[in-house]
Structures are given as structure tokens and as C-alpha cells.
Amino acid sequence: SSKLNFLHMLNVKDYCKVHSFYVPECFSSFACFSSFAVFAEFCFTCVIDLTSALEHDGFISGFMEFYQKTGEPYLGTAYAIMMCYWDGTAHFIMYLMMISRITDKKAYRNLGLFWAGSLCANMSVFIAGIVAGKYGSEICPAFWLNFVFLLVPVWGAITLFRRPKDRPLIGGYNAQHVQSMKLIWRPQDLILVLLLLAAMAFTVLRGLVALDSPLEASSIYLRHYEPYLKDPVGYPRVMMLNLFFYGLPILGAFVYGLLKPGCTWMPDWTVFFAGAMIQCQWTHIGGSLHPRTTAPFRIPADAFWPVLAANLIYSATPILVALRVLNNPYFFLKIAPFPGQTGLPNSEEKDTKYKDK
């Protein structure tokens, strides 16, 4: 009992010191340690996903054959293979970068939000597509493991959104000057607004196709441009519905954020949505071109380049918006009140105040 009381008097870090265990400084808080542990564990799953994709594509053999047949047979679909490639490369790199920054006690807010958006989009489409598609009648116990990979990025996103920002929140003279300019005098923002409006129209069109709209435009687009939207595996349809019901309002909010000064939520949400969009479009474009997609559902040869260009521009638009917001944030800051000091010249230095944390 005396030993037990002694242990209660020590925290985990002191206990490890007493027993000669090395504990990095970054693990002094539970939040840092839990994030490190989650990212390290997910690195292992990334390797599994990459192995699965490589074996399904015939580059390797003998590693995942049993699991492919009895565990999750839907991993052999074109969408799931491209999803596994993304997880085994892009997510793996993100995990290593975040682990490195945690170890060095550096901020990883933007990278974490990008990862959370990517994995949330990944798993929400994947899980719903399994249930709604042709594999809905072949649900195995391993299917329920996927909910862990959906809940963790949701937890990560909530944690990062609630964490104090590591960038300026209140602007001074430069921010006031930038926010006084009309959209016509901000050509970069004008181009981004036009791209966002085009992306919204594209989202509506493909959402109507997924909803089986009888409109002639929907029928023409489905028949002559992207028949992959009706692939019976279900993933393309679910993705278009996700973008229609969730992505469309977010794109509209970004247009508002580029028109209305002082939208401090823009930096976080543009990064989060950029991660979601690039993951969705990677799997969508890759799945529509993959050999496992049957010929009737692939992009027609005569429409290949227009469809590819439209999808690439659609993918790039949220990323360009996020880069613009992060690189020049003056328009999205709150203006600091300077009573009795209106009309002062524009100051190039010490323009920004930091909000007390």
C-alpha cells in the first residue's frame, strides 16, 4: 500500500523518471501524447492500405489475399483502391509531419485541419457508399472498424477548431486599408469568386445527376460526360450527394467571406474544406479512370480532356482559396478600434495585434 500511495503522489512523467524511462517534453500533456499515439497508430494502417491497393492492382501478391476475400471485399473496387493509395501516401506523409511537429513542440493546426478534412471526407463517403451500393448486403464485422477512422478525424477537427489560433486575429491600418477596397479592385479575389461560383454550378449539376433529375442537362451530362456517377458500387453517387448538401453551402460561404470583410472563420474552414475536396476528387477522378471500373461507366474518349480539366479546376479552387486566405489574411481580420485616430497613414510595420490567449 505504501508503494501505491507513492505512485499516486507522482504524475506519469515523474514516475517514468524514477524508473529511468525516457519521456520527451512533448508528452508532458495528455493531449500531446494522445495525438502522437493516434498518428503513430494510423501510420501503421496507412501501410496496410497501401499494401492492399498494390495487391489489388497486381504489383505484389500474397499479403492481403485472405482479408480481401473474407474481411472487406469492397476494398477491391476502383474507388477503394484509389482511396487506399491516398491513405498510404498523402495521409502517411501528413502523419509523419504532424508527429515531427509534436515532437519539436511546434504548431500543426493548418496541417491538422487539412488532414481532418481529408479523412472525414474519405470515410464518410466510404462508409455510406458501402451501405448504399452493391456491397450493402455483404457487411462483415470488419466493416465496423471503419467508424473508428471516421470518429477520430471528427474528434481531431473539433479539437483543432476549438484550440486558440496561432495567427493574428485583430488587424490595424493595413487591414483597414485592404478591407476598404471593393471587389473590383481586388482582382485575385474576383477571380476566386468567379471560380467558386463555377464550382457551385458544377456541384449543383452533378448533385442533380445523383438525384436522378429528369432535367435534360443532367441526362446529357450523365450520358456523354460522366457515366461513372451511376456506377453501381455507390461511391460516386454518395460523393456527389455529400458535395451537394454539404459542399455547396460551404462554397457559398467562401464567396460571402471574400465579399464581406472580417470573416475570421475563413482561414480554418478553407483549409479543412481544401483537404476534403482534394481527397474526394483524387478518388473520384482516379476511380473513373481505373481499369476496375467497367467500360460503360468510364469517361467517354471524346469527352476525356474536358471532363478531366473540369474536375482538376474543381479540385484546385478550394486549395487556391485556402492559399489566398493564409498568405494574405488582412481582409479576414477584425479591425482594432483606434478612437480619435481615423485617417492616419498606412503603416507597414506593427500592423497587427494578437488576441490574448
Q: What is the pLDDT of residues 89-121, one digit of tens each?
A: 999 999 999 999 999 888 899 999 999 999 999
CA–CA distance, 160 with 165 (Å, rounded to integer): 9
Q: Residue 259: inside a domain, yes or no?
A: yes
Q: Are residues 211 and 149 in the same domain?
A: no
Check whether residue 176 and residue 157 sit in a common domain: no
- Is 211 in the same domain as 333? yes
272 — pLDDT class (breaks 50, 70, 90): very high
Question: Do 189 and 299 fall within a single domain?
Answer: yes
**158 and 179 share one domain:** no
> Where among 162, 183, 202 does a domain terminate?
162
Q: Give the tens place of pLDDT for each residue, 158-216.
A: 999 988 776 666 666 778 888 889 999 999 999 999 999 999 999 999 999 999 999 99
Please tell me whether residues 182 and 287 are part of one structural domain.
Answer: yes
Examine residue 3 and state whether it is found in any structural domain, yes or no: no
Cα gap 255→203, rounded to integer Å:
15
Q: How far apart are CA 252 and CA 262, in angstroms?
A: 16
> Residues 197, 147: one domain?
no
Give Cβ neighbours of residue 116 (< 8 Å, ≥ 6 apart): 153, 154, 156, 157, 160, 272, 275
Residue-level pLDDT at 270:
98
The DSSP-derived string for 119-153 is HHHHHHHHHHHHHHSTTTT---GGGGGHHHHHHHH
What is the rounded CA–CA span in Å between residue 23 and residue 63?
Answer: 35
Q: List the domain range (segments joined by +) for residue 38.
A: 17-162
Same domain, 178 and 319: yes
If asked whether residues 182 and 154 sit together in one domain, one would say: no
The residue written with cell numbers 478553407 in the block is 270
Residue where a domain terminates, one of 136, 162, 188: 162
Residue 102 grid coordinates: 509534436
**Number of separate domains in the chain:** 2
